[in-house]
Amino acid sequence: MILLLGGTADTAPLATLLAEAGYNVLVSTATDVPLATGDHPRITRRTGPLDQEKLVQLLIQQGIRAVIDAAHPYAAEVHRTARAAAACVPILYLAYLRPAEILPGSDVIRAGDHEEAARLAFAIGRPVLLTTGSRNLLPYAVAARKTGETLIVRVLDHPESLQACREAGILPRNIIAGRGPFSIEDNIQIIKRFSIGVLVTKDSGKAGGVDAKREAARREGCALVVVLRPLLSDRDVYGSTESLLRELRGRLSPVIESTSGLRVG
Which carries the bigger pLDDT value, residue 17 or residue 103? 17
Highest mean pLDDT among 76-80, 159-163, 194-198: 194-198
Question: What are the backbone angles phi and psi of residue 151, rounded to the nearest 5°?
Answer: -115, 120
Q: Does 247 or 99 have the greater pLDDT score? A: 247
pLDDT for 74: 80
Domains of the chain are 2-99+230-251 (3.40.50.720), 109-227 (3.40.640.10)
Closest C-alpha among 140, 113, 121 to residue 199:
121
**Choice among 30-39, 43-52, 137-146 with the minimum mean pLDDT:** 30-39
pTM exceeding the 0.75 threshold for the entire prediction:
no
Whether 14 and 96 have beta carbons less than 8 Å apart is answered as yes
The residue that leads in pLDDT, 126 or 7, is 126
* Cis status, amide bond into 230, omega within 30 of 0: no
Is the model's pLDDT at 147 over the cut of 80?
yes
Q: What pLDDT is stored for residue 235 in this prediction?
A: 74
pLDDT at 22 over 70: yes
**Residue partners of 192: CB distance under 8 A and separation at least 6:** 220
